[in-house]
Amino acid sequence: MTRPALTDVDTDQLPLASGQIWPQSGSHGLTLADAVRRCRWMALDINAEAFALLLAPPAQERARLVPWLDSDYPGVGFSKGIADDTEHVVRHVRSSTEPLWWCRASECAADTALASLSWATQISPLVEETAGIAFPVHAERNQCGLVVFAGDRINLPQDMLYDIHGRCFSLFAAVSRIRSGNLGLKRAMTRRELECLKLTANGYTSEDIARLLKLSVHTTNQYLTQSAQKLNAVSRTQAVAKALRLGLID
C-alpha cells in the first residue's frame, strides 16, 4: 500500500476535530491561541501528554529546531526539554515527511505501540524520560517544521496516523500564515520596545527595566507607550498580552 504524498493534499481543508476545518488563508481572527487549542485536540485524540510545534530553519542556517508554541503556551516550557542535538532530525524534516517516533531509553522498542506503525522511523529520544512521535510538516515559502507529541500512553492506531499528520500539516500552514502576518509588526517595533515588553511580561517595573537596560525611567515608559500604540493596546498589560499571543515575545 502506497501512502499518499502529504504535499499533494489541500491541507487548508483537512479536518481538525469534530468535522472542523481551518479557515482559508484570507480569513481573519485566527490566533496562536486557536492553534494551541487545535494542538490540544490532537493530543487528546492520541492520548499524548504534551505537544510542541517547532520550526526547522532554512538550509543555510544552523540546523536546530526553533520553538513556535507548545503545551505551556503562552510561555514555552515543554519545548525546552527537547534534545539539543537535533541536527539529524532537522535534516530529515527538510527532506522527508516520514514521521519519527521514540521510546523511553529504558523501554524495549518492541514493547511500545508506536513500534507497529508503518511509514514511521524510530530515532533516539527527542524528549528524555518519555515516549513520543514527531510529524515533519511543510508549508509555502519553503517553510518546514515539526509537530511533536509526547507521553507514555500515546495511542495512535495505524488508520489514524495519516489523519493526524494531515491535521499537523494544516496546523503548520495556518501558524506559518499567522507568523508571516506578525513579521511586519515585529519589524515595526524596535529592539528596545520588545525588550521592555518582555521584561514587563516577566514582572519587572519601569524602574527595574530602566536599571537593567541602563535607561531613564522616562525613556522606559516612552518605549512601553510606543509599544502599546503599535499593538493598538490601551495599557501596557494589554500590550504584553497581545505581544505574547502574537509570538512577538516569549
**pLDDT > 90? residue 49:** yes
Distance of CA 77 to the CA centre of its chain: 11
Edge-first strand order for the sheet with 144-150 is 66-70, 50-56, 144-150, 132-138, 100-102, 121-122
Q: Please state which architecture CATH assigns to domain 189-244.
A: Orthogonal Bundle (1.10)
Fold of 6-183: Beta-Lactamase (3.30.450)
CA distance 249 to 234: 18
pLDDT tier at 187, thresholds 50, 70, 90: low
pLDDT of residue 203: 93
For residue 35, report the phi and psi dihedrals to the nearest 5 degrees: -60, -40
CA distance 138 to 162: 15
Alpha-carbon distance values, 107 to 102, 113, 125 (Å): 10, 12, 11
pTM beyond 0.75: no
3-state secondary structure of 15: strand
Q: By percentage, how much of the chain surpasses pLDDT 90?
A: 42
Domain layout of the chain by residue ranges: 6-183, 189-244
CB-based contact 102:154 (threshold 8 Å): no
Residue 80 gets which letter from DSSP?
Answer: G
Check residues 233 and 192 and name the one with the higher pLDDT: 192
CA distance 146 to 230: 31
Q: 10 Å Cβ neighbour count for 214? A: 6
CA distance 173 to 12: 8
Check residues 104 and 12 and name the one with the higher pLDDT: 104
Model pLDDT for residues 104-144, shown as the tens digit of each residue:
877 766 667 788 888 899 999 999 889 999 999 998 878 89
Closest CA to 99 of 82, 115, 80, 122: 122
28-32, 64-68, 177-181, 209-213: range with lowest mean pLDDT: 28-32
DSSP 22-33: PPPTT-S---HH
3-state secondary structure of 133: strand
- The dihedral through the CA atoms of 162, 168, 169, 171 has a sign that is positive
pLDDT of residue 51: 96
Q: Is residue 226 classed exposed, middle or buried when 0-12, 13-18 and 19+ CB atoms within 10 A define those classes?
A: middle
Model pLDDT for residues 56-66, shown as the tens digit of each residue:
877 756 678 88
Q: Give the chain's length.
A: 250
Check residues 22 and 250 and name the one with the higher pLDDT: 250
For residue 21, report the phi and psi dihedrals to the nearest 5 degrees: -130, 160
Check residues 5 and 116 and name the one with the higher pLDDT: 116
